[in-house]
Structure 1
């Protein structure tokens, strides 16, 4: 049975959708506008459906067009994956790996892992994106990143995950702070202090907000900063305390004290659910899991 569309017509259809019109789509595809218009007209004819409402200077998707968008994106993504798989059968390995890492992990956990992988696979180009955990999850789900490190908190749906590490979140205080000598710090004692926190969208901030909700405490936010060196400097100078993964606090002027009870985060390496992993991506997953 012949399908009423082909991948090229779907690609043109999505270009019109994404660029908001036939002229802009034609420019992006380096085609004449008439060719784009004819492709859409042929697609509508074969489907026996109107995909766009055509106004004098603008277009809008019909309900049928809206329904086709998701199917079209899925089919084109699967076609790209099939093409890559066939290339790799011919030993043409994908040469670039795009991985997303939360800021706190990028500086303190992953440099040895990334350098070790690069030493083993010098022909693979690595692109590392640092961002908040929530943004990284969205980029992976949208296909803009191949892999990423996520927090296993139940919010990373539509992702395939492999457990990578379990790390402790600790209270970070100056060495001469009254809390530095304790064996554990309760959430109530933590929230009684002025805090230095990350902005929304970072797991550091979400951890603090969740802890505040659980204890019914009000966080006294003195500073907001996504810059770890600046946050440490503020803590060292005594203007507030914060929480970090334990390894981040390891320096002479700062003390890492466990929460009471201790707080742990589970980290996973994740990729888009049902996505095809190239040889480069699979090689990185295998390397990361072997060196966790």
Structure 2
């Protein structure tokens, strides 16, 4: 599948925005996650086309979990060995299903809250590819459960934040773009001009999640729309460094809190130092671990199914 430079650049922008948010301890930039969600919906619409459900699910698993579990290994092992043992948070972190013991569990790797929703979207797509009738029945069952016995599980499954993925999915159907430059500029100003931030647990509150989808999701949709309409611009040589960062965005996202936390309170605690260290560590992990792992999985799949396209990426990872 052809790599879209516009999408890779936006993935870089989203990752750098989240790193900026944490390195500089500001709310500005946290909306990069919402940009990731819209991008993910767009990518999944492309890679799921004409693909069997089992093949789609397997590709998602290999792209999400190995590098994620490597990143989460340290906090997981610490919690099990020196913390509270096999707690519900351990279960949530391992499975990326957030509801344990009837309550929402914060992941031990804090940034993994967004992967809760990524995996939910992938599961929904897998069921849809397997059987649209089964997907509709499952959706109806969740709605009935939410009306009969609402709780954290139904709140998670029906969180309005999923609309950001759906909007990205819809963008993949567009074939023409009007005023993409204007949409891109307005979207960027609205998305990153705001200093508002949301606690991830509040995404189970329909009112708060709806507000986030409007405040962050709508501008993110405008940004992706505008960038897609300007693919020729992002395909120019000037964008190559950002495309490279976009390739590494999943590793940057997963790893960035480790160097930021390690440098906080040290002699090198200046925000710009934390920011650069976080990006550098993410790029190194991508080059030394994520990319070789992806190449190995792609070679393994090609040896078994020569006609299969190479492994595509999740919304938080490279496209090809």
Q: Which has the higher strand share?
A: 1
**More RCO (CA 8 Å, sep 6+):** 2
TM-score by length of 1: 0.23
Asked which structure has the greater CA Rg, the reply is 1
Q: Which has the higher helix share?
A: 2
